Structure 1
């Protein structure tokens, strides 16, 4: 009989999203927004849904801060770009009751994108202030530039 304990593989360790990562994402998103002529807000959340980075253009409408944060939160909670789930919550959609069934700050408008590192969810970014298509482009451009795709 062996007295040696079996070797249990350690869980995959993934570097969490850092404030440096958030700063890089916010700056990249701000450049993308400027290129599109969008005056809005950018929010970066960590894997726990906590604010890690934020920027609101001084010419942005005030609500853009709220929409960028809710889009990031929705992308984080569903681990999916908000652009991919918009149709699911329409009146005839599979999850049409989801926006009102949960007491969560969810927003099903394009512009929120989850962030992954080594295949693991580490946070999310949200853009608000432009059209849904512009906001999605801003968020995805930031991921590409920050090499988090």
Structure 2
């Protein structure tokens, strides 16, 4: 082992998760888009979830899968869409694993001090809208 010491980074708290959820919902509300928002911790465990009354039912599942995908690959799902197209680096990944991956924009990883601490997923709007709402949540957390 090297002599490098890694300092602990504070995990996402429930308070952080509520802030992320509220900020994404505020951005979506301002755009008039009913959404579902999922916040996961670094282990992929659910910290917060909310589906607006008028959001399409499947948005709950898509928001969770987007968050999980962003977490597992440590990248915004918007940046991964081309990778699963025929000939792309991850073309077979969505069907190769028995995991809930979804390569549609709207999932973003959450970092603290350069370390991955969780992810946010938004579903219910157009992919670009969902990505913008998730990005607004990150901006609110960064503060």
Would you say same fold, with TM above 0.5? yes
Structure 1 position 91 matched with structure 2 position 91? no
Tell whether 2:97 aligns with 1:130: no
Please list every run of 5 or more consecutive structure 1 residues that lacks an aligned counterpart in the other structure.
Answer: 1-7
Runs of 4+ in 1 over 4 A off after TM superposition: none
- The Cα of 1:10 is off from its aligned counterpart by 3.9
- Correspondence 1:141 to 2:136: yes
**What TM-score do you get using the length of structure 2 for normalisation?**
0.95
Partner of 2:28: 33
What is the root-mean-square deviation of aligned Cα atoms in Å? 1.1
Larger-gyration structure (1/2): 1
CA distance in 1, matches of 2:5, 2:85: 42
* Alignment-derived partner of residue 118 in structure 1: 113
> Whole-Å Cα distance in 2 between the matches of residues 109 and 58 of structure 1?
22
Choose the corresponding residue for 1:50, options 28, 45, 48.
Answer: 45
3-state DSSP of counterpart to 2:80: helix
Change (3 A) 1:14 1:37: same
Alignment pair present for 1:77 and 2:69: no
Aligned length: 141
Matches within 5 A, 1:98-109: 98-109=93-104
Show structure 2 runs of 5+ residues with no match. Answer: none
Q: Secondary structure at the match of 1:146?
A: helix
